[in-house]
Structure 1
Amino acid sequence: MALLLRSVARRSVCMSRQHFCVLYRHAAPMGTAAKEEMDKFSAKNANLNRPVSPHITIYKWSVPMMMSITHRGTGVGLSGALSAVAVAALVLPGTFPHYLDLIHSLSVGPVLIGLAKFAIAFPLSFHTYNGVRHLWWDIGKGFRIPEVYRSGYAVIGLSVVTAVALTCL
């Protein structure tokens, strides 16, 4: 497919050179391998003293970094779970009390029920408290490094306490 597109672009260049010379100038020459192109790109950047892009393996993991990743993950997880429950409510036969009776009839025990409640309550409370933290940042407060760590630990602590309290209800 790439060769077909390249040949079409070259024909266009031949047809009207002044309009497509920029497209043609940056096209890789025919017959070069990807490895050769990467080596040429790396050599050009080394000659120009450009820094190498950082990647995830060189970073030291920190609390703000993990909180940001977890905030995104809980947001995706909560929206997916809410969508699944909504679709299930529309598609599945029966009513909500019917499914509660079904869960009670499984006799899984209070420990597993408590763990399930905690698994639902913790992401919800974490995402909520961390969202409030982000709103606080949006008004320009709490950007100093000690404040960032302090608010991060506060979010984690409040999330655990809230999830335990909701689990015990």
Structure 2
Amino acid sequence: MATTAKEEMARFWEKNTKSSRPLSPHVFAACLALSEGSPRALSPAGVSLFSLAALLLPEQFPHYLAVVKSLSLGPALIYSAKFALAFPLSYHTWNGIRHLAWDLGKGFKLSQVQQSGVLVLVLTLLSSAGLAAL
């Protein structure tokens, strides 16, 4: 016999209360948001847009590079832009390695999942900062 939505919700909250764990920890929420966003930023449509613009714009690349340099944006803004470009690539790479470990059947305990999530975020920030500094 099927249960009602109210019964299912009551069962869920009872189980969650007994487990004494938060409903949505911050690390998991951040990882979920980044896992959803980084593939979109790296999608063929997202990357191809830049390439298509380079093909269709009337001038050559050196002209547009000179335009950007003439804006005198400053090193902080340029570093921030480079960091924003490197971040999805770095996160997607490190999280992919995390998923490879999961495919091998390792790291499924709650504490290990939390630790690997934090490790992915730290490695992402460090590698993004390093790439932006190049």
Q: Does 1:60 align with 2:23?
A: yes
Q: Does 1:116 align with 2:81?
A: yes
Please report the TM-score for the alignment, with normalisation by the length of structure 2: 0.77
The 5-angstrom pairing of residues 60-139 of structure 1 reads 60-62=23-25, 63-79=27-43, 80-139=45-104
Higher relative contact order (CA 8 A, sep 6+): 2
AA partner of residue 141 (structure 1): K
Quick one: distance in 2 between partners of 1:60 and 1:100? 48
Percent identical pairs in the alignment equals 43
Instruction: Report the alpha carbon displacement of residue 124 of structure 1 after superposing the two structures with TM.
Output: 1.4
| C-alpha contact 1:122 1:159 (8 A) present in aligned 2 | yes
Quick one: distance in 2 between partners of 1:168 and 1:154? 21
Q: Which runs of 4+ in 1 moved over 3 A?
A: none
- When structure 1 is superposed on structure 2, of 137-146 and 77-86 the one drifting more is 77-86
- When structure 1 is superposed on structure 2, of 66-75 and 105-114 the one drifting more is 66-75
Q: CA 1:86–1:153 in structure 2 vs 1: closer, same or farther (change >3 Å)?
A: same
Deviations 1:14-41 (A, max 9, x none): xxxxxxxxxxxxxxxxxxxxxxxxxxxx
Instruction: Report the alpha carbon displacement of residue 75 of structure 1 after superposing the two structures with TM.
Output: 0.9
> How many correspondences in the alignment?
121
Long gaps (5+) in structure 1: 1-43
Deviations 1:85-109 (A, max 9, x none): 1221222122222221111111111
Instruction: Report the alpha carbon displacement of residue 82 of structure 1 after superposing the two structures with TM.
Output: 0.5
AA partner of residue 51 (structure 1): E
Q: Residue 58 of structure 2: SS of its match in structure 1?
A: coil
Quick one: distance in 2 between partners of 1:110 and 1:66? 28
Of the candidates 95, 113, 126, which is equivalent to residue 148 of structure 1? 113
Alignment correspondent of 2:19: none
Quick one: distance in 2 between partners of 1:107 and 1:155? 34
Long gaps (5+) in structure 2: 17-21
